[in-house]
Structure 1
Amino acid sequence: MKFAEFHAGQVIEAGPYEISERDILDFANRWDPQWFHTDVERAAKGRFEGLIASGWQTCGIAMRLVAMAALEGSESFASPGLQYVKWPHPVRPGDALRLKATVVEARRGSKDPSLGILRWRWQLFNQRGAEVLDLEATSLFQL
């Protein structure tokens, strides 16, 4: 999508993205090697009663869905960061994750009108409707 196509209140949906036990183990062993992400047997006895995905993996899945649904072919070139990130419920093997991205604000830069500034809330939900990710991102566009 081009920056001009975004407007406050707009909702963009994408997915599902299905995550497997192998996906969780591979990511965690490489990037977040905590036992509740890497040890199936120990995780089964833990607080979450089973293996869960890293929150950072969940963010990566959201980024992929956003890139494919909204940023492909756009003028987007960077992000200065996130306002917040929350993981209200865990992601488990077999979950099918769906994205809901809601545009909070789309405006041109006050000092540089060739800069598009997009603030948007990204939420991921599993197949049961439980929210597994909530964040607010800012994306920059070269107009």
Structure 2
Amino acid sequence: MEYFEDVTVGDTDAFGSYGATASEITDFAERYDPQPFHTDPEAAADSPFGGLVASGWHTAAMTMRLLVDEFLADGATRGALGVDELRWRRPVRPGDELTVTTEIVDKEGWDDELGVVSVRITTEADGEEALTMVGLVLYERRTAP
């Protein structure tokens, strides 16, 4: 288990593989972001994207799945305070394989039980930046300061 004291600014990690599918893209969009370029391949072909693309929120959700499975699972994490600097750099398309890179960019105490770790998160789709953000992750302290 990795606690706040174990986290080191500058540490990086890369992990995951998540395949985006057309059916998952349209299912998510029909429920949460029903814009035609997310839900209708024919309408999407006439959009600025030139084809079906995942909602940015879906890209964030797929990123979260990889983070939970590969990054947060071994940490004494207790949720998050939010994200900063969220950007969708390029659309995710059916067939893209997503991977995630993390970099610890800052850490500070929050209270006697928790610390906040700022994690720069980059999601790539087939090797190209698709999403970037900084997560503000709460970590349990092993001992009070």
TM norm. shorter chain > 0.5: yes
| Residue of structure 2 equivalent to 1:67 | 68
Q: Deviations over 1:21-52 (max 9, x none)?
A: 00101100111101110011010111110000
| Residue of structure 2 equivalent to 1:126 | 125
Q: Deviations over 1:70-90 (max 9, x none)?
A: 211422112111112000100
**Residue 10 (structure 1) shift:** 0.9
| Residue of structure 1 equivalent to 2:2 | 2
> Partners of 1:50 and 1:70 in 2: how far apart?
32
The equivalences for 1:6-85 within 5 A come to: 6-85=7-86
- Secondary structure at 1:28 match in 2: helix
Gap runs ≥5 in structure 2: none
Give aligned pairs, total: 140
- Secondary structure at 1:62 match in 2: helix
Specify the code of the residue in structure 1 equivalent to 2:60.
C
| Residue of structure 1 equivalent to 2:109 | 108
Q: In the alignment, is the contact (CA less than 8 A) between 1:12 and 1:102 conserved in 2?
A: yes
Q: In the alignment, is the contact (CA less than 8 A) between 1:13 and 1:69 conserved in 2?
A: no
Larger mean CA deviation between 90-99 and 70-79 belongs to: 70-79
Q: TM-score, normalised by structure 2?
A: 0.90
Specify the code of the residue in structure 2 equivalent to 1:117.
V
- Secondary structure at 1:91 match in 2: coil
Specify the code of the residue in structure 2 equivalent to 1:119.
S
The RMSD of aligned alpha carbons is: 1.3
Specify the code of the residue in structure 1 equivalent to 2:66.
L
> Partners of 2:59 and 2:87 in 1: how far apart?
10
Report sequence identity in percent. 35
> Partners of 2:95 and 2:35 in 1: how far apart?
20
Q: TM-score, normalised by structure 1?
A: 0.91
**Residue 134 (structure 1) shift:** 0.4
Q: Is 1:117 aligned to 2:131, yes or no? A: no
> Partners of 1:98 and 1:57 in 2: how far apart?
14
